[in-house]
Structure 1
């Protein structure tokens, strides 16, 4: 890539998103592009493949692949390269898979287009790929539709499709953001194996500096569309030249510590816990998504649930927030038994129990601007009063919630499609907090955020907890984050809880071999020695 500049047509003007980017990547090398959401990382990756959106324009510079300029190739010639020579692992699996087709045939499409394998060999290869990315029962998985898989499982399908034809270059845009530590290590090992065996080069776009440090040869720090620093990974970790690079490294979750007031588990007039779960199960057909789990969350504390994709974490979150009915067991929220409540009966609790979803884009009405998205809970519980005064009060509260989530008021009239993944997640957090609830269930709330914004959001969540006495059920695959903010933690596997206890005890002396395996797969070994 030489002096590449990219802009987006917005109305009658062009906004430059990437300016004068240059780098060279040798066969078998890995370049990690890191930086905050909206910095231009994904634009660089999409420019390599000629996959800029309709309003995207190359303003200057070039992209060359094996000595051939490909940045000005017609669409048909570029399509011949994609999948076979250069492939993409996209950031958002929800919008990248066909919702009405089974996932096995979608991966098989790559093999049909770019290999000479017959149908039986293609099916066998799909099963091999599914096993490589960590699926068990690969025959059943290949017959499932995207909506039947967790977010992390859908991401694994995309990775299988990207590596199917063993391409020369992989552009991996946040390829492991929805995966637990063990599957993340397994997938990155697969990409490393391709790199070693076939000289596959990788452009790894990530906000996870631990992954970047452990898995790359070069690190490029992108800020405001420019390369603030480009250096060998060891140099970047040990002696970063740029002040912004040092800022990113200082905000790695494993280096964060938070001082906060811990909840006591009691409240005046109501000594019960905020959340109490007893023998909870959820079955889909003959499959137990959640299998006889029990836990208690004290008021004002943070209870984290960790485990691999598909272990039942998100299903548990949906049951707690009344979005899914349990098959068996008991759930108590703020002293109210909710297991038997229908949607109408559960509604009054929604002011006090809010959720931040894993995929913010899928949880927004695409017709709404940011003001309408964040204001929606306020309108649902609007007290009586003049419409004009309510509108102004709502706007003020929305602005305050956005600013608390590190977004300026200038975002009020943007639409979700105009925001980066990290910006959408911050809007989702603002929407959950705007009602000042008592319990917040956070389902992978910072998985799409770069480390500096992660630190801001975690500091925000901890501060609000101390100030307002909030209780958090925090679901995450990022064990470093869990360790930084949690009072207690539960480890789930295949629907059950294999271990739970005080966070320090679980992390320092795990009783379960599976927990030890999870902890051993945490990325960031090179960062730890800095």
Structure 2
């Protein structure tokens, strides 16, 4: 029996020029207990489709045509009150961002209890007891303590578990999970997806999983619908769509998955050591972020540091680039002991050591156009008498940096707010290259990008390294990416490096239990590698 039928759904958004369709004649069916993954890049229409099913389109959104049938109810004909009665009771949402979805000034238990207040006849004591049961189901211990905690007291994975508890509180028949693990570490992602699987197996709940992560879709769905430009371009059983994709866009997505990217040839660069870290420790108050860490990086290689949030990898990157002072230990970069340098003393080294941040937009001055953003490092080193001449003096180098980052020259006149996420990351790379550095530290540079855009950035980084002999320190929690691009890798946990060595050795024969856990958590590894 079909639980959800979406037939020729067309959705539009109203703007200054009228109603513009963004989802075009989408059709699919979901049966009880099934998982349908809607996959595609940002702007493909997958989230809009999910929100249309739930009746949660924004005020300027509208279903233009088509039908949405849940069991025997036509959802497009329901009143606003009818939609509210259905949501949470029979159909529920696991939203993408728990930081936005949870009220920061109320305990999380009370927020889950709201669902029970709306959709059940339970009294206050029974509602509280039910929330305790839900928290146990989602893997919490000390549930009364969790009930009383506020969102800021929980980790990202814990907050996502609270949202899952709220979504299942009234035993819904259908869950729309909108990027439920986006931004989570691999092991936390696996825990959350395992939890959804367990709930589905136990209660027969159907799931529409909205995701840009083809690995997650490959691992966790029965059916896949591939969306591009608001249209469903391919749909079918997961194994068939991944194994023998028919549409060119689907093939492009599958080939862009890091596990499908041609890996580096084995072998360790024989260049001299450009970074040497010995017994590095960084303490913040009572918290030891980096704990007696040692490694070295050779010229021309990609050395990756992997681990979950809080493992110490980003703090290590900030110490390498002079943005954070070490508590103890020794860090030598290009022959200079950076632990003995003040920020001012590190300044001359910035010509040779640059950083690319995870979210480049937050590091751009909103008043600057792209030329100003890329030129900023040159301006920092320009003689004081140059201000009125600097743009002309730096034009060649800025345009050359943009070209190296595969951006057209006319992008120099645009503002970052006019660019996509991938284009902004290219601008950040151009800014890092403009001083012609020797070492580039990349802190989660593709974690916020769609899979095909991320593949383009990885290909660009590899080409730049080959052309310029760059040395990369690559910070990431994504082991599939690290496996594709690295020469050597260090695995960090709780501030310590628990394992390091050539990437092929670490991945094929991990020695530490934590490394094994990380490798086991790579989404879609078996199916996507097998599809090759």
Q: Please tell me the TM-score bracket, short chain as reference.
A: 0.7 to 0.9
Q: Is the 8 A contact 1:354 1:437 kept in 2?
A: yes
CA contact (8 A) 1:278 1:295 kept: yes
Within 5 Å, which residues of 2 pair with 1:247-326? 247-258=252-263, 263-266=269-272, 273-326=273-326
Aligned with residue 215 of structure 1, among 217, 220, 226 = 220
Comparing 235-244 and 87-96, the one that deviates more:
87-96
Give the C-alpha shift of residue 321 in structure 1: 2.8
TM-score for both structures, normalised by structure 2: 0.82
CA deviation map 1:152-211 (0-9, x unaligned): x42552343134341443333333343333322221111111211223322223333222
Does residue 110 (structure 1) correspond to residue 102 (structure 2)? The answer is: no
Q: Check the 8 A contact 2:38/2:224 in 1, yes or no.
A: yes
> Which of 243, 249, 255 is 1:244 aligned to?
249
1:44 to 41, 49, 53: 49
State the shift of 1:373 in Å: 5.0
Q: Secondary structure at the match of 1:339?
A: helix
- Is 1:172–2:173 an aligned residue pair? no
Secondary structure of the corresponding residue to residue 175 of structure 1: coil
Contact 1:297–1:303 (Cα < 8 Å) also in 2: yes
Distance 1:128 1:402 in 2: 54
Equivalence for 1:338: 338
Secondary structure of residue in 2 paired with 1:278 = strand
Q: 2:236 aligns with which of 231, 234, 242?
A: 231
In structure 2, the CA distance between the partners of 1:400 and 1:350, relative to structure 1 (3 Å rule), is: closer
The whole-number CA distance in structure 2 between the counterparts of 1:282 and 1:142 is 32
Distance 1:467 1:328 in 2: 36
Residues 5-40 of structure 1: CA deviation (Å, up to 9, x unaligned) = 334455436554322222222232212122233333
Partner-residue secondary structure (3-state), 1:274: strand
Give SS of 2:339's match: coil
- Measure, in 2, the Cα distance between the counterparts of 1:75 and 1:392: 61
Q: Is the partner of 2:29 in helix, strand or coil?
A: coil
Alignment partner of 1:196 out of 197, 201, 205: 201
Whether the 8 Å contact between 1:107 and 1:161 is mirrored in structure 2 is no
Q: Report the equivalent of 1:528.
A: 529
Measured in 2, the distance between the counterparts of 1:325 and 1:379 equals 25
Q: Which residue of 1 aligns with 2:11?
A: 6
Bigger mean CA deviation after superposition, 240-249 or 334-343: 334-343
Shift of 1:92: 4.9
1:263 Cα deviation after fit: 4.5
Structure 2 SS opposite 1:22: strand
Q: Deviations over 1:355-383 (max 9, x none)?
A: 33334454455666666655554554456
Distance in structure 2 (CA, Å) of the matches to 1:409 and 1:442: 26
Tell me, which stretches of 5 or more residues in structure 1 are unaligned?
Answer: 267-272
Find the aligned partners of 2:143 and 2:341 in 1 and give their Cα distance. Answer: 35
1:485 corresponds in structure 2 to: 485
Pick one of 150, 161, 164 that aligns with 2:163. Answer: 161
Q: Describe the shift of the 1:67–1:470 C-alpha distance in structure 2 as closer, same or farther (beyond 3 A).
A: farther
Higher deviation after alignment, 233-242 or 355-364:
355-364
Q: Which moved more, 1:334-343 or 1:80-89?
A: 80-89
1:139 offset after TM fit, Å?
5.5
The reply to whether residue 404 of structure 1 matches residue 409 of structure 2 is no
> Separation in 2 of the partners of 1:13 and 1:361?
30
Larger CA Rg, structure 1 vs 2: 2
1:262–1:113 Cα change, 3 Å: same
Alpha carbons of structure 1 residues 144 and 313: separation in structure 2 relative to 1, 3 Å: farther
Stretches (4+) displaced over 6 A: 135-138
- Higher mean Cα deviation, 233-242 or 428-437? 428-437
| Equivalence for 2:3 | none
Question: How many positions carry a matched residue from both structures?
Answer: 514
Call closer, same or farther: CA 1:165–1:12 in 2, change over 3 Å: closer
CA displacement 1:289-340 (0-9 Å, x = unmatched): 2222111111221111122332222222233333333332222222222224
